[in-house]
Amino acid sequence: MNNFLKDYKENLMKIWNELQNSSNKVYTVIKHKNSISGFFAIIALISGTLGFLIEGIHLFGAIEKSFGLFGFNYPDGASFESNFFIFIASISAVIAVFFLAVIFFIRDFLDNLYIKKIMSTEHTVLFGLGEINRSFLNSIKQVKNQSLISKILIIENDPKNKYIEEYKEIGYGVLVGDALSDNILEKLEYKNLKNAIIAMGEDRHNIEFAKQFMDKYDADIIPQNVKTTFSKSLFS
């Protein structure tokens, strides 16, 4: 038991340090949602067991009633108000349950909130998460420039791309969907857009997309200082 608690404490400290150093704190919380919820669940079980033991309930009965708190099976008002351990256990059980529920239902909202934060300042948009753009992203990662990482938005049309979660964790913003058919281009903040890098596969496809991109938004919408780069020109 002591080893378990020691390991769990070290894991929580690791999560805390990661949260402090992450430029995408929202994603870090979502990533470790089970550990965070588990932390409150452990508090609920330990405090609940102690509280019910104080009330004169035998050990197994105290453990059973502690688990019952997660189903909102609370003791009578007197025990709840007078027993500090039961009070803490009840609150922790509620947090453990609702934290997971809230994260599950608002994950997309939190992702969009982070993306809007990126677009609220000068930023770069990368179309495609293929080899070329990954090389560019990894070069920024290697220099550990978090301020630059937090100013890059990736648009990837394949929701099954195995690199999406990896780059979210690093701190890049990621929008998943087809840039044209899913109306993603309408969501971009062009007044703050400084660079657009298009590398979605073959050069022919990139050029065709760039033409559609520029035709869709004339010079009155896309600022003149936006630089659009194709995968072909990156290596020429």
Tokens 């099954």, located at residue: 160
| Tokens coding 67 | 């688990």
- Euclidean distance between CA atoms 62 and 40, whole angstroms: 18
Judge whether residue 33 has pLDDT over 60: yes
pLDDT band (50, 70, 90) for residue 49? very high
Angle between helical axes of 33-54 and 2-21 (0-180°, round to 10): 140
Q: Tell me the whole-structure pTM to 2 decimals.
A: 0.63
What percent of the chain clears pLDDT 90, i.e. is strictly above it? 14
Band (210; pLDDT cuts 50, 70, 90): confident
User: What whole-number distance in Å separates Cα of residue 136 and Cα of residue 154?
Assistant: 12
Q: pLDDT tens for residues 161-209?
A: 999 988 888 889 999 988 767 677 778 888 888 888 888 877 777 887 8
DSSP string, 186-231: GGS-TTSEEEEEE-SSSHHHHHHHHHHHHHHS-TTTS-TT-EEEEH
Residue 193, strand partner residues? 123
Mean pLDDT over 84-90 rounds to: 90
* pLDDT over 90 at 152, yes or no: yes
What the chain holds in terms of domains, given with CATH numbers, is 2-110 (no CATH), 120-234 (3.40.50.720)
Phi, psi for 120 (deg, rounded to 5): -75, -10
